[in-house]
Amino acid sequence: MTQVFLSRLFSTVVLWTAVLWTIFSNYELGFFAMLSAVGLAALWEFYRMLDHKGLPNFKVVGMICGAVMLGGSFHYYRSVGPSQSYDWEMLSLLLFLLTVFTRQMFKRTQDIAPLPTMAFTLFGLLYVIWMFNFVNKIVYLLPRENGHVTGQYYVLYLIVVTKFSDMGAYLTGTVIGKHKMVPHISPKKTWEGFVGALVFSTLGSCGMLSLMQHDLSRLNWVHAGFLGIALGFAAVVGDLAESILKRSTDTKDSGGFLPGIGGALDLIDSLLFTAPLLFLYLRVIIRVG
């Protein structure tokens, strides 16, 4: 258990340190490149999981659409901000749909095969790329100061709280977990681990606010407490969501190049749910942007 935990912790720290260093150094293009690399790697792993189960998909078309959305979003977010980029997002979703339908037109139709092929392809784009892109949105949601972005502090906050939730669930569930949570999805998940995830994420949220009150000036202690619980809950749901995919495709990990973690999708599965939640909280509740 200790070796697995240390391997997982080491991989997480190294990877996210590299990602955050690029944005803290105001190297926006570098941050976009790393964010896109992780997102596209996760999307590729998703399609490979489908291949493992023999489920049809247009992985090449999906990868191209994902790259176009990420690149276009980066341009629009830098230019006008995410709060004014909804036309681009709608165009991207329409592009996904039209491209997948067009690709299907050049493939021979057999029974209902076109429906799952298009559905699996589009689901990967929405589940991985569209949801992960909210991390990029958070960076550009807050106004710039002296020409530099300021949203990176909220990305750091997001990652810390999310990973504290993952760590809390793992440690608590391993040490005292007895009552199975959803054994038909993930046999190792326990209710004790779920509570541990919420406790750790709340501690992480309050701890980040106490350490970075100036940089996280849009948050107060009420926000920190609520977000700690909400993001912790979303992180657990995100982890279970990928567990559903793994069980459905008979795979243990989405990939194998990250010691103790697995693949890129294993790394960001919780963030796929916590990033949209934090973005919407900042936009709707705190009225940022």
Spatial separation of the C-alpha atoms in residues 170 and 150, rounded to whole Å: 32
Spatial separation of the C-alpha atoms in residues 119 and 97, rounded to whole Å: 10
pLDDT at 47: 96
Q: Using N-to-C axis directions, what is the helix angle for 28-53 and 2-24, rounded to 10°?
A: 140
Total domains in the fold of the chain: 1
How far is residue 219 CA from its own chain's centroid?
Answer: 22
Pairing mode of beta strands 186-190, 180-182: antiparallel
Structural domain of 16: 2-285
Spatial separation of the C-alpha atoms in residues 197 and 31, rounded to whole Å: 28
Model confidence pLDDT, tens digit, residues 228-246: 999 999 999 999 999 999 9
Strand partners, 180: 190
Query: Are the CB atoms for 263 and 255 separated by under 8 Å?
Result: yes
Written as one letter, the residue type at 232 is G
Model confidence pLDDT, tens digit, residues 80-90: 888 777 888 88
User: Can you list the residues of the chain whose pLDDT is less than 70?
Assistant: 1-6, 8-9, 11-12, 16, 19-20, 23, 108-112, 255-261
Model confidence pLDDT, tens digit, residues 84-137: 778 888 899 899 999 999 988 877 655 557 888 999 999 999 999 999 999 999
**Residue 144 DSSP code:** P
Spatial separation of the C-alpha atoms in residues 25 and 229, rounded to whole Å: 30
| pTM (global) more than 0.85 | yes
pLDDT at 183: 87
pLDDT at 107: 74
pLDDT at 16: 67
